[in-house]
Structures are given as structure tokens and as C-alpha cells.
A and B are shown apart, each in its own frame.
Chain A
């Protein structure tokens, strides 16, 4: 394997669309995925009309700071918006309002089971419109919809601390979980409200010892599932290592992931010449925060998944794995908390209850107000069925034995296949039964 001679050097950029009610720089509805028609959520500002001026959304700024806190960042007490220039039909003003040298958050840290990932910066910007490629009257054209134009977009950039595809996946999952816990975005990768890009290069083992960094970087875009991130990085590692083995330097370029063909492919760059000509946006006064304000936002953070998992283990004795799975369901965190407390008060085994929920032995509709009673009753029924069943089961088996003496003879003659007959016969009497339970009972009784 060529990759053995190289180490992966990878940084990840994650874009998250915030689900504020209105857009980043205007009062238009922020619901690009819910829009029934194109170009129905626009105004002079997000259409980039002559003379229109942006005004920044306070909540989007606060939410970005929240994300910064959740990812262990320092919050810059002074921050501003800058214009980033390039031409593309989905970018109405010919520039994107973004943040260049003074982003809202810097220097964070995210722990994964495969190692720590440092966060370089988190900044706030506006999303572009959306392009649809289509044929109209036999002519190939591109159609532009500005419903998404100027939706608040947060970009989270890491240091090149990711050293395996598994770590990349774990990092992405963790960010996804935290963003969802903060209630600031749907972070739906399929729809595109969370988007991933990986900057990938390979460093020779020898270079690493001498501290020589790779002279190139391949950016892979459009990674819209956790699995794709892992696979794309695996693919790139192999592709780049093969080139390096031949003493070729991989081309610095942007590539996409093709799921059908299971490979990355070069993408045409949006701008053939990248020179963004950043400068501070004169239309938007800068932001200055007091330490108290920033600290208050930190205090107001909801409990993050890691803390929830730990607390559920400690307070309710829930098994770590079950806690992890259940804590992932951010929408139901609060109802689960109430459920655990109630169960604990009534001396119900919360660990068992959690396992039953995880294994779908109990299915509860958390949407209804009586969910607690429903869950606890379901658990009671399940538990009682299992204990009482033993008496009922023995009686049933005795009936089967009495009616089928030959089967008993067969069984004793080591024709063990006859056990299936017993299971079937008992099922006929009692309905659906646990076959293992029947098997054990029959074996015990006929020993």
C-alpha cells in the first residue's frame, strides 16, 4: 500500500446555514428549502438591486458566538464584515459579505476519539442563490433562484489536524451533533444546510520528521454525507500517494466526490482567477462586544451532547452506548430527561428503560402529552409478560406433552429436531412467544 509511506494532512471547512427567521442582511423569510416557488423570498437587498443596503441580523451574530463557545473558541471582542469579490450569476452583488481578518471566533478545540482537532476560526457570511441547470426550448441554460441568497451562513475552519478518514468522519459528526444541540441550524447534509469541504494533502514520513509540509493542497467539495467524507479522503489518500510514489506532486485543485463512480474528479473552478480583493464593507459598521455580553452568551448555552451523555450515565445509570444513541436525538432531549426523572422517582430501572427504547422494544410517540405514562406502562407490560409467562408457559408445555407422548419419546431418543414441534405447538396456544424461552423451558422439563 502506497499510503503507508505518507501521513494524511487534512483540514475541514464546514458551512452551516443558520435557521433564523429572517435572512442575514435583510428581513426576507429565511426558508429556502420550504419555498414552494423560486424567487419568492427576495427584496432589494438580497437581490443586489441598485442602491440597496445591508443591515446585519443580530441573532445570527449571537448564534455564531454560541457556536464559537460550544467549540471552545475565543470570541473576538471586535469584529467586522468584509466584501469578498468574485463573479458568478448566483452571487447577486458580485461580492459576498463575509469576514476576512477579524472573524467572530478563533482558536477553538474539538475532541474526537481519534484525536483533537483545533478550530482556526468561525466566521459569519451570507449564502448565495441556487443554480439549476436545464434545457429550455432545446437550449442549455442555467436558472437562478435567489430564495437562498443572503441566508446566514457560518463557516467553521479547522487546522490541518485530521490524520485519518475516520477522524474526519468523527469530527464532522461531532460538529453536526453540537450544532443540532444548539438549535441554530437543521444541519441537514442532504438538503445542504450543512456542507463539508476537506483540504487534503499527503506528507512523506521523512518529511514529517524534518517538519516539511506538503507544497500542495487538494480541496474536495460537495461532501454531503459523513460516509462520503470518509470515502473521499480514503480515495484521495490513495490517489495522491500513487502520484507521490511516481515523484509527481498532485495538482493543487478543487475536486468533487462522485458517489456513483466512487471517486473524486476535478471541478472547474468558479473563478478562473482567484483574487478576492477583500476590503471592509463600508455599509456595515463594525461590531464591538463587551466581555460581559460574550460571557452571558456562554452561560446561556444549552447543555451539549457530551455533557448530556455524561449526566445521564451518572444520574440515571444509563449505559454509555445507550446514552450516546439517545442523546443524538436532540429534538427529544428534554422529554427524555423528564422521562428519566419520573421513572427514577417511581423506582423504575432507568438503565433498562433506556435500553428498551434504544432496542425499539418500546416505541413511544414523544409528540403526545401522555408519553411518560405510555412509556412506563409499555415497560411494565413488557416486564410483567416476561415473568408471568413462565407459569403460563409451563402449563402450556404440559398440555402439549400430554397430548403428544410420541414427541417426548422422540426427544428422549435424541431426535432434538422435535423441539421445533414444541415451539410451534406452544405458539399456537399462546400467540407469539420467545422461542429461546420455550426451548429452555422444554429442555428443563424433559431433562
Chain B
């Protein structure tokens, strides 16, 4: 396995949208490395030709009819009730570059 360097850690943190300080990156890199290295035991299992399992229920076609469920819908006030910042019924985020 490739060693998880500070650079890789920084890249992963960026992908995961985690704001990390250089100190944190230095701290996490060896920890991630040890866990990932441990999990590499799994590559000893012979998985060639084995199908993947991503769900265990065996369920299929569990769908809903196209019906509006008003009772589950939030009022605008409810929708916004946990937001730190709102304006005229909108959630507010720092300006994104306009395209």
C-alpha cells in the first residue's frame, strides 16, 4: 500500500471538505496510515470473482407512488428554523463566484 503522506492526507481532507490545519494534517497522516494498513488484511481474502454485497435485505422495487404528502412538508418557517443565517425565506451562504 502506498503510504498515506501529508500530501495525500491534505488531498483527502479537501475532497471530504474538512478544513484542517497543517498541524492536524501531520497528526492524522500516520494515524490514517496505521488504520488503512491494518484494514489491508482484507486483501488477503480471495475475492476474485466474488460478487459485491452493498445491501443485505434482498429487497427490490421498493418504490413510492407519485403522491404528494403535504403532511410531511415543512412550512417555510420550519424549513429555515435551524439555519444560522436566512434572508427573505432563503438560506444564506457566503457569495459563490457568479458564473
The answer on direct contact between A and B (beta carbons under 8 Å) is yes
Return chain B residues, CB-CB under 8 Å to A21: 66-68
Q: Mark B61-99, 1 if CB is under 8 A from A, else 0.
A: 111111111101111100110000001111111111111
Is A87 a contact of B57 with CB atoms below 8 Å?
no
Q: Is B45 an interface residue when CB atoms closer than 8 A count as contact?
A: no
A binding-site residues for B, Cβ under 8 Å = 20-22, 26-29, 37-44, 47, 55-61, 87, 89, 94, 131-133, 136, 139-146, 222, 256, 267-268, 272-273, 275, 277, 279-280, 282, 284-288
Contact A256 B99, CB 8 Å, known A37-B76, A43-B73, A47-B74: yes
Nearest chain A CB to B18 CB, angstrom units: 10
Is A61 a contact of B54 with CB atoms below 8 Å?
no
A-B contact pairs, 14 of them (CB 8 A): A22-B64, A27-B67, A27-B69, A37-B89, A38-B76, A40-B76, A41-B73, A42-B73, A44-B72, A44-B74, A89-B93, A268-B99, A280-B55, A287-B63
Supply 12 further A-B pairs (C-beta < 8 A) apart from A22-B64, A39-B91.
Answer: A57-B64, A58-B65, A59-B65, A61-B63, A87-B17, A89-B96, A136-B87, A139-B95, A143-B88, A143-B90, A146-B91, A267-B99
Return chain B residues, CB-CB under 8 Å to A145: 89-91
Contact A277 B15, CB 8 Å, known A42-B74, A141-B87: yes
Return chain A residues, CB-CB under 8 Å to B87: 136, 141, 143
In the bound complex, CA of A287 to CA of B89 (Å): 37
Of A41, A141, A267, A286, the residue contacting B93 (CB under 8 A) is: A141
Is B62 a contact of A285 with CB atoms below 8 Å?
yes
Is A58 a contact of B66 with CB atoms below 8 Å?
yes
Nearest chain B CB to A143 CB, angstrom units: 4
Within 8 A of A (CB), among B47-61: 54-55, 57, 59-61
In the bound complex, CA of A131 to CA of B76 (Å): 17
Q: Is B11 an interface residue when CB atoms closer than 8 A count as contact?
A: yes
Contact A29 B68, CB 8 Å, known A273-B15, A288-B61: yes
Main SS of chain B's interface residues?
loop
Of A29, A41, A60, A141, the residue contacting B94 (CB under 8 A) is: A141
In the bound complex, CA of A26 to CA of B65 (Å): 10
In the bound complex, CA of A272 to CA of B97 (Å): 13
Q: Is B27 an interface residue when CB atoms closer than 8 A count as contact?
A: no
Nearest neighbor of A82 in chain B, beta-carbon distance: B54
Return chain B residues, CB-CB under 8 Å to A279: 54
Return chain B residues, CB-CB under 8 Å to A256: 99
Nearest neighbor of A25 in chain B, beta-carbon distance: B64
Contact A29 B17, CB 8 Å, known A256-B99, A288-B60: no
Contact A55 B63, CB 8 Å, known A43-B74, A267-B99: yes
Is A27 a contact of B64 with CB atoms below 8 Å?
yes
Return chain B residues, CB-CB under 8 Å to A43: 69, 72-74
Is B92 a contact of A285 with CB atoms below 8 Å?
no
Nearest neighbor of A275 in chain B, beta-carbon distance: B15
Residue with the greatest number of chain A CB neighbours at <10 A, chosen from B15, B17, B59: B15
Is B61 a contact of A287 with CB atoms below 8 Å?
yes
Return chain A residues, CB-CB under 8 Å to B60: 285-288
Return chain A residues, CB-CB under 8 Å to B59: 285
Return chain B residues, CB-CB under 8 Å to A29: 68, 70, 73
Nearest chain A CB to B30 CB, angstrom units: 23
Return chain B residues, CB-CB under 8 Å to A28: 68-69, 72-73
In the bound complex, CA of A39 to CA of B74 (Å): 9
Return chain A residues, CB-CB under 8 Å to B55: 280, 282, 285-286
Contact A59 B92, CB 8 Å, known A29-B73, A141-B87: no
In the bound complex, CA of A344 to CA of B40 (Å): 77
